């Protein structure tokens, strides 16, 4: 009888041990789940706190865009282009300035504006200002289009933004007239490198870089480019602000028995310096001298 009671009493102890083991194994898993829940709640809370903080006025200052130190591009201010360049940037005011998308958006707008060849750097400052360091395209002349309006171009013949109904000769800008080539889109150059427009841009660039000459020249005239109007006339002419004419000759690189471009520039410089430019002068033929027409009726 005693041995039977011993066997009956042994079975409950074994089941109790199995149940305790199962509960013990479950505890680490429960702790992990609870820890995950706590971490998730903390992350959500931090995100809500961040959005709340960034929504405060001090984190949403009025965003404005400025150009960084211009360095060698100080002509941007000297020639009054800063405001015109910045006018092409539209800043979305519905986003906090700390958002990366805003900075990217502004930099892309500047890169696509036509005013720059490269956006080197863009950064944000505490007061909400976005600053842009860029390589700018400098206008060197105004090209007259077929409809009589004018567009600015740089030394590579790239069209810059804006269009003007008229550009009078007394504004100081060199005009390019007589162009028949198709006008490119903003930020693009004239397609044909041998076009009348590019021939005029090359001459205008040389003149623009010569400070003793550029203030005197009003227009680069390619109306008779490659003799299309008159085979006996020079292909490119220059006009001064007081209406005097200088025959340049052929396009750069197409000269035949003509003075070089540098020799032509030296001749023009001498004419202007000595005051010997009268009604008309031809600098295309003689490298060492200039053919001057003293008859103002011609």
**CA torsion angle for 265, 270, 271, 272 (degrees, to 10)?**
90
* Cβ atoms 234, 226 nearer than 8 A: no
DSSP state at residue 251: P
User: What is the β-pairing status of strands 141-144 and 175-177?
Assistant: parallel
Q: Which of 47-51, 139-143, 285-289 has the highest mean pLDDT?
A: 139-143
* Cβ atoms 113, 88 nearer than 8 A: yes
Cβ-based neighbours of 67, under 8 Å, separated by 6 or more: 76, 82, 85, 86, 131, 132, 133, 134
Residue predicted with more confidence, 100 or 218: 218
- Tens-place pLDDT, residues 221-257: 999 999 999 998 999 999 999 999 999 999 999 988 8
Which pLDDT belongs to residue 43? 72
Residue 294 pLDDT greater than 60, yes or no: no
DSSP state at residue 138: P
Which pLDDT belongs to residue 128? 82
**Would you state the structure tokens that stand for residue 107, as one six-digit string?**
């930099």
User: Confidence band (pLDDT; 50, 70, 90) for 92?
Assistant: confident
CA distance 6 to 12: 11
Measured at the alpha carbon of residue 195, what is the angle toward residues 280 and 235, in degrees to the nearest 5?
A: 20
Residue 160 pLDDT greater than 80, yes or no: yes
Instruction: Using alpha carbons, select from 65, 160, 183, 164 the residue that is nearest to residue 114.
Output: 160
Which pLDDT belongs to residue 297? 46
Please give the sequence-ordered ranges of beta strands (E in DSSP) within the chain, or none if there are none: 64-67, 116-124, 129-136, 141-144, 150-153, 175-177, 217-221, 236-240, 245-249, 280-282, 291-293
Rg for the chain (alpha carbons), in Å? Answer: 38
Domains contained in the chain, CATH given:
59-136 (3.10.20), 141-293 (3.40.50.10960)
Which pLDDT belongs to residue 298? 43
Which pLDDT belongs to residue 31? 64
Residue 168 pLDDT greater than 90, yes or no: no
Average pLDDT, the chain: 83
User: Confidence band (pLDDT; 50, 70, 90) for 127?
Assistant: confident
Exposed / middle / buried, residue 257 (Cβ in 10 Å: 0-12, 13-18, 19+): exposed
HSE-CB of 99 using CA atoms within 13 angstroms: 16
DSSP bridge pairs for 150: 144, 164
Per-residue pLDDT, averaged over 10-23, amounts to 52
Q: Given the structure tokens 């805003």, which residue do they identify? A: 102
Percentage of the chain modeled with pLDDT above 90: 57
Which pLDDT belongs to residue 11? 47
CA distance 117 to 140: 15
**Would you state the structure tokens that stand for residue 226, as one six-digit string?**
């490659």
Long-range CB contact pairs, 215-220, < 8 A, 24+: 215/172, 216/240, 216/241, 216/272, 217/174, 217/241, 218/169, 218/174, 218/175, 219/169, 219/174, 219/175, 219/176, 219/177, 220/141, 220/174, 220/175, 220/176, 220/177, 220/248
Residue 167 pLDDT greater than 90, yes or no: no
Which pLDDT belongs to residue 59? 57
Measured in degrees and rounded to the nearest 5, phi and psi for residue 282 equal -115, 110
State the pTM of this model. Answer: 0.74
Which pLDDT belongs to residue 155? 96
* Cβ atoms 157, 175 nearer than 8 A: no
User: Confidence band (pLDDT; 50, 70, 90) for 275?
Assistant: confident
């Amino acid at each position: 009888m005693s041995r039977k009671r011993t066997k009956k009493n042994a079975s409950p102890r074994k089941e109790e041990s199995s149940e305790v083991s199962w509960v013990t194994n479950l505890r680490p898993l429960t702790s992990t789940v609870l820890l995950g829940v706590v971490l998730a709640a903390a992350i959500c809370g931090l995100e809500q706190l961040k959005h709340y903080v960034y929504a405060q006025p001090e984190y949403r200052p009025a965003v404005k865009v400025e150009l960084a130190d211009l360095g060698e591009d100080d002509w941007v201010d000297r020639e009054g282009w800063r405001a015109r360049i910045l006018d092409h940037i539209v800043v979305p005011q519905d986003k906090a300035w700390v958002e990366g998308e805003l900075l990217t958006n502004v930099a892309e707008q500047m890169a696509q504006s036509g005013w720059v060849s490269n956006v080197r750097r863009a950064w944000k400052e505490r007061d909400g200002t976005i600053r842009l360091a860029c390589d700018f395209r400098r206008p060197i002349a105004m090209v007259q289009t077929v409809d009589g309006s004018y567009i600015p171009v740089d030394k590579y013949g790239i069209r810059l933004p804006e269009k003007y109904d008229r550009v009078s000769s007394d504004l100081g800008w060199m005009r390019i007239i007589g162009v028949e080539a198709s006008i490119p889109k903003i930020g693009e150059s004239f397609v044909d490198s041998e076009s009348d427009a590019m021939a005029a841009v090359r001459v205008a660039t040389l003149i623009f870089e010569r400070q003793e000459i550029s203030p005197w020249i009003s227009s680069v005239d390619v109306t008779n480019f490659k003799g299309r109007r008159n085979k006996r006339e020079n292909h490119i002419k220059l006009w001064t602000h007081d209406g005097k004419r200088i025959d340049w000759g052929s396009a750069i690189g197409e000269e035949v028995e003509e003075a070089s471009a540098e020799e032509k520039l030296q001749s023009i410089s001498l004419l202007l310096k000595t005051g010997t430019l009268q009604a008309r002068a031809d600098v295309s033929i003689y490298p060492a001298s200039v053919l001057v027409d003293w008859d103002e009726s011609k």
